[in-house]
Amino acid sequence: MLLIQNGNVYDPASGTEGKRDILTANGKIVLIRPGISREDILRFVSEPENDVNGAQVRTIDASGLAVMPGFIDTHSHFRDPGFTEKEDINTGAAAAARGGYTTVIMMGNTKPPIDCPEILCDVLARGAKTPIHVLSCANVTKGMRGEELTDFDVLRKNGAVCFTDDGKPVMNKELLRHALLWASKLDTPVSLHEEDPAYVTNPGVNAGGKAAKALGLIGADRRAEYSLVARDTSMAAELNAPLCIQHISAAESVGIVRKAREINPKIHAEATPQHFSLTEEAVLRKGTLAKCNPPLRLESDRMAIIHGLMDGTIDIIATDHAPHTQAEKSGEFIKAPSGMIGLETAFSLGLKYLVEPGYLSLMKYIACLTANPADFYHLNAGRIAVGAPADLTIADLSASWVVHLPFASRAQNSPFLGETLPGTIRCTIVNGKIVSSDGWASK
């Protein structure tokens, strides 16, 4: 049993904000109230139906700290199987725990891809052995080739929480229509990477911008994204299908999603910390560390994403955690892979670029990391309530830290290395057990 005392609880799902104590037992939250007393605990323990088997109570004092639902990342690459020199399920889970994430959905652009129940069951079984909740998508198409749908029924039955070919768009419109219809019958989201290759000459850098010109590259045109966003949100609106637009980067895309959601509120969009924190100028400063798909764009695009978060057009913040080796990122820009790690810096970036400037309240920001993704992906997570899983993140919002090596991730490809960020994750709790701590919980 774990008793968290004197914390400032923020639970967007219930609207709870204020000082509370939280008692956990058998992996669940069992009491929430100001000032849980010894008598309260004895009364709970004495009730036979609670079955705590004489468990000892560990108490931690969270005075002055924020106690939040454990964060949920709906878009992470753990590179396992096939690319474990970059990351594997264990190191990815460690990075998640250090960043305050208690639940992660892995993407399926692995080798082999997650397009059959055998691969899906393997990664889920290995994920179950980590300290956090590791979930997985399944691919929309076999081999991510965009030619034939996977068996959604079988994959959903075996634990897939969404369907995506992330890393590649689904270019065949009729195939995607069938995918949306099938997923809709299962009430399971389809999550789409929207970049039409016809408009991408050099991935990872904004076409026509300062960085592309400095590098002598054409880049990736913004039409690559918003043309597919328009096509696919229109289709999802017509079919009333659950759809997520991944890592939105262009102002036009935000506007298209805004209008589509008026027709079908099952349409959602992700914002990544890099896209609401950085612009293409980061490529000039950080080189390949700031190369990502879709690329970082203009300040006007960054602000459009922030305004989308403000008005609820975008209500999920996902990291797109994308580990690569130092050797890969040390090469020539045009040859280096796109992507950056993000699980360990995401929370602080949101504080710095969304909460501190006053764009989002702390509660609305936390909702984008917890209750909102939990609701859309039908997860038993993302809330602080009696009977809910005891998945909690405790942070010191008044503290700051310098992004430094080593990361818990196997990779180190972050453009934020050396930067001072607000908010430190003090403790991550999964099923009532401390799975990551900076030492505070043992003091």
Count the alpha carbons within 13 Å of 262 in the hemisphere toward its beta carbon: 6
Location of structure tokens 């027709």: 263
CA triple 86-90-94, angle to 5 deg: 95
Please give the full DSSP string across 122-169, using - where no structure is assigned.
HHHHHHTTSSSEEEE-B-SBGGG-SSSB--HHHHHHTT---B--TTS-
DSSP 309: H
Catalytic site includes residue 221: no
277, two tokens: 């924190």
What SS3 class is residue 237?
helix
Q: Report which residue type is found at 89.
A: I
- Look at residues 300, 297, 298 and name the one whose alpha carbon lies nearest to residue 308: 300
CA triple 99-357-319, angle to 5 deg: 30
Phi, psi dihedral angles at 269 (to 5 degrees): -145, 150
Of the residues 320, 391, 396, 438, only one is catalytic, namely: 320
Catalytic residues, by residue number, are 320
